[in-house]
Structure formats: structure tokens, C-alpha cells
């Protein structure tokens, strides 16, 4: 069963972060399970955290904004790669992105710095759950990332939820192209 109370709290946190980031001129995109759910238009499963993409150049302003909103920084990956925060028992991770000379979206830091993310990563319409709209990772790219992550990083094994997410996204994409 989906943790309805946690989902409600996470959706409220997503709305709060998006509103504040937009007011500050900081673009953000949901990734992972929440991006899938916003594409599908409904909460499909419990989410352990909220995953985002944010520009590396915006990281200092984003971190300051989150602290002002009551988020607490959580130690984790290198600061140039990802920012992790917690608020009221909810975790959020902001994977940092950059652009190369050709304009491709790339990994901002860590051992894969400069490596391009799949083409079209950020090129999709916002998703929606109810009245809440959010920029999301393109669902086709989401599928590619979920399929390839264990190949790109062998320390990250395949997870059953990723196979389920891929199946949901593929079915929704088929329905949209058939309809």
C-alpha cells in the first residue's frame, strides 16, 4: 500500500521547493520515481525520497534557499556532484548538472564530471499530479537511465522498483502514441 501520508507530505514539500526555487530563478527538474508519477499523473508507489536535477551554478543559491526553508544539509556525495537535504523526516537529493561547450547536459562533478547525460534529459512538458505541475525528466530518458545505471555504475544493482517503473512508463508512452 502506498504511504498516503508520506506521499501527501512529499507533494507539499515538492510544491514548497518549486515555488521558492521559481521565485529565486533556480530551475529544477524532478527525476526518479516522482518524475514518473508526475508524468503518469498519479502517485503509483511509495517514495523513499525526492530526487531532483539542479544546475551546478545554482548550487550555492539553492543550498541557501533550502536552509531558509528549514531543510538541513545531509552529508553524502561530493558537494560538486549532489546536494542532500532533510526536512521533517523527508529526504531530498539534488543531483547537479552542467552543460558542455556543445550545450549537452553533463554530470557536474565527481568521477564522471563532464560525462553527457542522455540527449533530451530536460526536454519535456511539465508533469502534473492534481493541480501541482512540476518540471520533470523526459520519460524516455528516465527509462534509459533506469536501464543503464547498473551498467554505468556497477555498484548500483538492478532494483525491482526500476523494472516496475520502466513497465509503467513504457505502457503510458504506448498509450499516448496510440491515442
Residue 86: pLDDT over 80: yes
In terms of C-beta distances under 8 Å and separation of at least 24 residues, what long-range contacts does 160-167 make, across chains too?
161/33, 161/45, 164/45, 165/33, 165/36
| φ, ψ at 154 (rounded to 5°) | -60, -15
Averaged pLDDT, 85-109 = 97
- 24-67 tens-digit pLDDT: 999 999 999 999 999 999 999 999 999 999 999 999 999 999 99
Cell of 113: 564530471
Q: What is the per-residue pLDDT for 1?
A: 46
Cell of 31: 527525476
Q: Where are the beta strands (DSSP E) in the chain?
A: 28-31, 50-55, 72-74, 82-87, 90-99, 105-107, 127-129, 132-134
Question: Whole-angstrom Cα distance, residue 99 to residue 15?
Answer: 26
Amino acid at each position: 500500500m502506498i504511504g498516503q501520508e508520506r506521499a501527501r507530505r512529499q507533494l507539499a514539500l515538492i510544491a514548497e521547493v518549486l515555488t521558492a526555487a521559481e521565485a529565486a530563478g533556480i530551475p529544477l527538474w524532478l527525476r526518479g520515481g516522482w518524475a514518473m508519477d508526475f508524468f503518469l499523473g498519479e502517485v503509483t508507489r511509495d517514495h523513499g525520497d525526492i530526487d531532483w536535477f539542479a544546475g551546478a551554478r545554482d548550487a550555492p543559491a539553492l543550498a541557501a534557499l533550502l536552509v531558509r526553508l528549514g531543510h538541513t544539509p545531509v552529508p553524502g556525495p561530493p558537494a560538486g556532484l549532489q546536494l542532500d537535504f532533510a526536512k521533517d523526516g523527508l529526504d531530498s537529493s539534488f543531483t547537479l548538472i552542467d552543460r558542455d561547450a556543445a550545450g549537452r547536459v553533463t554530470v557536474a562533478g565527481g568521477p564522471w564530471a563532464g560525462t553527457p547525460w542522455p540527449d533530451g534529459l530536460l526536454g519535456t512538458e511539465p508533469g502534473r499530479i492534481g493541480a501541482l505541475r512540476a518540471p520533470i525528466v523526459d520519460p524516455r530518458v528516465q527509462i534509459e537511465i533506469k536501464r543503464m545505471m547498473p551498467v554505468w555504475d556497477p555498484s548500483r544493482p538492478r532494483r525491482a522498483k526500476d523494472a516496475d517503473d520502466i513497465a509503467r512508463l513504457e505502457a503510458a508512452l504506448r498509450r499516448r502514441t496510440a491515442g
